[in-house]
Structure 1
Amino acid sequence: MPSSAGKDMGAAGGADYEEHFHSAASGYLVLTTDGTILDVNRTLASWTGRSREGLLGGNIIDLMPVGDRVVFASYAVPQLAVAGCFNEMAAELVSADGELIPVLLSGVRSEEKDARDGAGVDRIAVFNASERRLYERELVAALRKAEAAEAARAAAEEETREKQKALEEKDRVLQANLTKSREREALLETVLNTIDVGLLVVDAQGKTVLTNAHLQSAWNRVQGEVAPGGERPIFGPDRVTPLSDAESPVRRAVAGESFSNRLVWFGSLDCGNQIALNVSARPIRTEGAFSGSVIAYSDVSRLVHAVAAQEEFVASVSHELRTPLTSIMGYLDLALDEEGLSPEVTSALNVALRNSERLLALVSDLLSVASGATKMDRRPVNLAEIVRAGVVSVSPKAAAGRVDLVSEVPASLTVDADPQRLAQVVDNLLSNAVKYSPDGGTVTIRLRQDEYAVRLSVADTGIGMTKAEQEKVFTKFFRSRRAVASAVPGVGLGLVITKNIVESHGGKLSFVSSPGQGSEFTVSLPLAAETAAGISPAR
């Protein structure tokens, strides 16, 4: 139904108004001053794919994309209000299926009033600009082609001039490059011979391409005038086990390996001039193909001797501390056995005993770390019982910290191991999980066996570790900043000892961690021979 304004116009224009209005080649809209659609012809309705009745009562800006809405509101509406008209505003209408229809809008504000509220009426003519837009695009494309052709011609002329200049300056450039090359060669040689790291460059066949003075000096100190690629004694970290040819740094590098921080000893221990070298290697690739390797040798003899002296000192001090601590604890136990002690004295003696036990545990950890090698008394043991005993032991501490313990442990699972050492591993992992969940949380203990190994995992929902902290987690005496800030007790030796025990069993200690999300440590122990052969552990 046409609006009241439409009806009035129809009456004023005669009986043919409706037919002319709806059959016109252009679209027409009759709007209130706020954009409400009072009338629309069928031509515009068919363009948009909407029914005429569905458009009536809507707003013209609902037919436009966001950008054109802004333009219509900021340009057309003010023009209608001030000048009473606007001409050829380019816009787009959104059809019912989302297609954009390019149009040109022209409008005029009529003096006649809307019968509903007496406000003015805007008449908008809508011209389909699809063909015009296509023509404009073709015109722009042709113009751009002409511009591109002109630019290509200018570029060709410029390129010709540049080539001429390049030919004229070619000799000068070549001479300058030759001079720079000689300077760089001299600089490289000076740098290589100045740094206190030995460098050896070999090709893909292992032939020496380049060495520096520091490396040649180290070779000469060990065994006289022997080329870096020649025969020489190389020993493992223990200083006495010779490395096989395949294990030597040069052979590994020639094989294309990339490695870092490998400790080897050059020279025989009997000669007294043996040196410790930290070796790293990186392959050289030319167009993706291996063409050689760069090997760096750092003399770490002083560092190795200093570490050994430090560990010897720690072991000596720790050993000397154990005897008086044991005596102190014995006398404290005797004192506590006396009858008639007042509660205050009993409490003070218990505090002294607990701190003595803690100090003895610290001394034992120091001694264990300093000793390096871990003596093992391996035999078939039920790891499930050891884990359950560890859970029972840590339960009071977990209850005090409001930490829930979730245990998923089978009735029995046999491994070939040292029971006391494995108990120490379990205690360390459980104690850490509880300690590093200071505000409560959950510690989950899982023990299982798969095709390859027996695996014990301890996961907590505690403070977790950053990537930087994870890189140092197995460093002696390392403690994270958050652990120190939270006053979590410890000295940073538990995981070092645990890793040493696990690796002494031929196993592996791994972990995953995320700050604020917690950590999960997993102990993987190789299966016993009979288990690997297909004999399942008792359940």
Structure 2
Amino acid sequence: MTEAFPDTGFATPAVELDYRELFHRSPAGYIVTLEDGTITEANLTFANWISRSREELIGVSILSLLPMGDRIVYSTHALPQLGVGRSFAELAVDFVSADGTRLPALLSATRQPAEGTRPALDRVVVFNAQERRLYERELVAALRAAEKAEAARASAEADVLEKQAALQEKDRILQESLAESRRKESLLQTVLDTVEVGVSVVDEDGNVILTNSRQRFIQRRAQPPGTTQANECELLIFGPDRVTPLPPELRPVRRTVQGQSFSDQLVWFGTGDQQRAFSVTARSVQRHGGFQGSVIAFSDVTGLVNAVAAKEDFVANVSHELRTPLTSIMGYLDLALEDETEIPAHVATSLKIALRNSEKLLELVSDLLSAAAGPSSIKQKSADLAELLRSSITSAAPRAEISKVKLVSDFPAQLPAFVDPQRIGQVIDNLLSNAVKYSPDGGRVTVSAWSTSDSVHFQVADTGIGMTAAEQSEVFTKFFRSGTSRKAAIPGVGLGLVISKNIVEAHQGVITLTSEAGRGTVFTVRLPAAG
């Protein structure tokens, strides 16, 4: 069943949709005209655009709503297109509104041929060009925004891919570095485990961060019985005498934590037959000017220490055995020389030479015994150090005169000290004798002394041949003699300074030196104050 729209002849199914409402409320304008352009229907949208009522438009020619130029275009282009092709699209024209303003529009139309009594009708769709342009601009803006977003997305994706590639490259480099680090760590551990020296690396708190198998074996040797693991303060570590436990502050790791670097600290690990001697050397690790830990090396010197002890015992025994026959020889020589008139002159001369050489040999034997005996015979008492110095200068004066060495005194008339006069006198004699001996071409030897609130000092300075830095580090070693003294054939066996050092240390004192090759040497002795 159908019904006709008024004034249009449109037919529509009797359904619930209100096509009239859709027609008039459409966003586009609609016009229905006859073949000559007479308007038979227009929707409200178009009527509102040109400020006219629907009733005013019906019966009016569409050409009357166009300016002259657009009328010609519509008559010569649009109508023929409808007549021939029954349609045209996108014809740009202006409509003149009731107030004379122009409304830009785009027209598209189709022609419905006549049918029966119904004439041919042209259905014209009118698009508001201003709104379309706005829509187009918005669409263009949206498209451009979308293009920018797509470009940004593509750029971000490329950036992500680039970063991902960079991360993959970094990961590859990191993996290679890790593999290289592990290889070097394995190589380092292999090297450390190969050497016959115990090595430990500790951090600034004393925690072990690297060690070798040799050091782990050494640590086990010092573990207290019945324990499997102990920190350093619990280990059985003893001083050079092998029986006195080393105080915590003198133990190697504790010393390194305090930032100390040291060389050749002699310690004993363990007890009984398993006890071993180790020479410990440590060097601190500095990074960015701060303490970062230490590297400690433990060298087993048990054989060397035992050999040195055996050598000293041998020297002491031989020296002791030599002293008795030498004393006897000197006694008989003195006895033979009591009455020189009863023996020929040439025999007396030979006997005197033999006596002098015997005295020199006995003096050497005494030095050897003194070096072996150490400080055991020290007997301290109140004494005048100035008197001891004057006595030694008097004894050295003849030799100094022969060598053309000037002796200079610089100390007070009295200088109280608490010492063993005989042993300290021996130290002064050794230092003064060396100063004169090692100034073979003349020069000056200055003997000075002074006291402070807690100590007494004396010093022997010469302008002789001096020593190099390497020679100074060995000067207190038994039997050491500098290369210069050997080349110059200066007599000596290298025991005087060792004996002097032992005597000074037995007094709880310190002996030091400064020297420069070709410029001379200065020995300084500091002893505790009197009483």
TM over 0.5: yes
SS at match of 2:485: helix
CA distance in 2, matches of 1:205, 1:169: 38
Matched, 1:267 2:270: yes
- Partners of 2:476 and 2:498 within 8 A in 1: yes
Matched residues in 1 for 2:477 and 2:441: separation?
26
- Alignment check: 8 A CA contact 2:382 2:416 kept: yes
Instruction: Could you tell me which runs of 5 or more consecutive residues in structure 1 were left unpaired when the two chains were aligned.
Output: 1-162, 530-539
1:198 maps to 198
Indicate yes or no: 2:285 matched with 1:284: yes
Cα 1:181/1:481, change in 2 over 3 Å: same
Identity %: 56
Q: Could you tell me which residue of structure 2 aligns to residue 237 of structure 1?
A: 240
Q: 1:410/1:206 Cα in 2 relative to 1: closer, same or farther (>3 Å)?
A: closer
Q: Deviations over 1:222-277 (max 9, x none)?
A: 44773363632111111111122232222222233222211111112xx3211111
For the pair 1:359 / 2:390, whether they are aligned, the reply is no
Residues 404 and 443 in structure 2, CA contact (< 8 A), matched pair in contact too: yes
Structure exhibiting the larger radius of gyration computed from Cα positions: 2
- In structure 2, the residue matched to 1:338 is 339
Kindly provide the amino acid, as one letter, of the partner of residue 333 in structure 1. Answer: D
1:294 Cα deviation after fit: 2.3
- The equivalent of 1:258 in structure 2 is 261
> Any conservation in 1 of the 2:221–2:269 contact (CA below 8 Å)?
no
Offset of residue 178 of structure 1:
2.8
Aligned counterparts of 2:250 and 2:464: Cα–Cα separation in 1:
42
Q: Taking structure 2 as the reference length, what is the TM-score of the superposition?
A: 0.65
Structure 1 position 289, deviation (Å): 3.6
Cα pair 2:374 2:503 within 8 Å, conserved: no
The one-letter code matched in structure 1 to 2:311 is Q
Equivalent residue, structure 2, for 1:396: 398
Q: Does 1:349 align with 2:351?
A: yes
Name the residue aligned to 1:326.
Answer: 327
- 1:172 to partner: Cα distance: 4.7
C-alpha distance in 2 between matches for 1:186 and 1:259: 29
Aligned partner of 1:305 in structure 2 is 306
Q: Distance in 1 between matches of 2:338 and 2:242?
A: 53
Question: What does residue range 409-424 of structure 1 map to in structure 2 within 5 Å?
Answer: 409-424=411-426
Tell me what 2:473 maps to. 471
Q: 1:410 to 1:278 in 2, by over 3 A?
A: same
Conserved 8 A contact 1:208-1:229: no
Q: Deviations over 1:399-434 (max 9, x none)?
A: 222222222332221111111101101111111111
Q: Aligned ranges for residues 203-222 of structure 1 at < 5 Å? A: 203-222=203-222
Aligned residue for 1:319, secondary structure, equals: helix
Give the equivalent residue in structure 2 for 1:179: 179
Which shows bigger deviation, 478-487 or 277-286? 277-286
Q: Say which SS state the counterpart of residue 528 (structure 1) adopts.
A: coil
- Mark the CA change 1:403 to 1:286 in structure 2 (over 3 Å): closer, same or farther: closer
Query: 2:280–2:298: 8 Å Cα contact kept in structure 1?
Result: yes
Contact 1:442 1:460 in 2 (8 A): yes
Distance 2:355 2:286 in 1: 64
Q: 1:454 aligned to 445, 453, 456, which one?
A: 456
- Match of residue 513 from structure 2: 511
Partner of 1:497: 499
Cα distance in structure 2, aligned partners of 1:361 and 1:489:
14
Aligned partner of 2:370 in structure 1 is 368
Could you say which residue in structure 1 is the equivalent of 2:189? 189
How far apart are residue 501 of structure 1 and its match? Answer: 0.7
SS of the residue corresponding to residue 280 of structure 2 reads strand
**Alpha-carbon shift at residue 210 of structure 1 (Å):** 2.1
Q: Distance in 2 between matches of 1:286 and 1:488?
A: 48
* CA-based RMSD: 2.3
Q: Distance in 2 between matches of 1:320 and 1:487?
A: 29
The question of whether the paired residues in 2 share the 8 Å contact of 1:374 and 1:500 is answered with no
Give, in angstroms, the shift of residue 457 of structure 1. 1.3
Instruction: Check if 1:429 corresponds to 2:431.
Output: yes
Unaligned runs of 5+ in 2: 1-162
> C-alpha separation between the residues in 2 aligned to 1:317 and 1:398?
33
Distance apart, 1:164 and its partner CA:
13
1:387 aligned partner? 389
Query: CA separation in 2, counterparts of 1:283 and 1:521?
Result: 31
3-state SS in 2 of match to 1:337: coil
